[in-house]
Structure 1
Amino acid sequence: MLQKRKCQFFNAGYCHSPLLETPTDSVTNSSRCLGNYTSCRYYVKGEEKKGLENYEAEEVSQEITFYKEANLLIEAVDSPCDKYVLTKLEEGFIASCKSMGRTLTKSQTTLCKNYWDKCPFRVIT
Structure 2
Amino acid sequence: MELFGDTVEKVVNFYPKISILEEVVSECDYFRIVKNEQGYLAYCSVLRRILTISQTNNCAQFWSKCPMRVLAHGL
Calculate the TM-score normalised by the size of structure 1. 0.48
The answer for the alignment partner of 2:10 in structure 1 is 62
The C-alpha deviation readout for 1:3-31, integer Å capped at 9, x for no partner, is: xxxxxxxxxxxxxxxxxxxxxxxxxxxxx
Percent of residue pairs identical: 41
Pick the aligned partner of 1:98 from 45, 51, 54.
45
The answer for the alignment partner of 1:86 in structure 2 is 33
Q: Distance in 2 between the 1:98 and 1:123 partners?
A: 13
Q: Higher helix share goes to which structure?
A: 2
Q: Distance in 1 between the 2:71 and 2:65 partners?
A: 13
Q: Distance in 1 between the 2:71 and 2:45 partners?
A: 9
What residue ranges of structure 2 are gaps of 5+ in the alignment?
1-8
Q: Distance in 2 between the 1:70 and 1:96 partners?
A: 13
Kindly tell me the number of residue pairs found equivalent between the two proteins: 64
Q: Give 1 or 2 for the bigger CA radius of gyration.
A: 1
Calculate the TM-score normalised by the size of structure 2. 0.77
Q: Which has the higher contact order (CA 8 A, sep 6+)?
A: 2
The answer to whether the 8 A contact 1:72-1:94 is kept is: yes
Q: Secondary structure at the match of 1:122?
A: helix
Q: Higher strand share goes to which structure?
A: 2
What residue ranges of structure 1 are gaps of 5+ in the alignment?
1-60
Q: Aligned-residue CA RMSD in angstroms?
A: 1.2
Q: Distance in 2 between the 1:64 and 1:82 partners?
A: 21
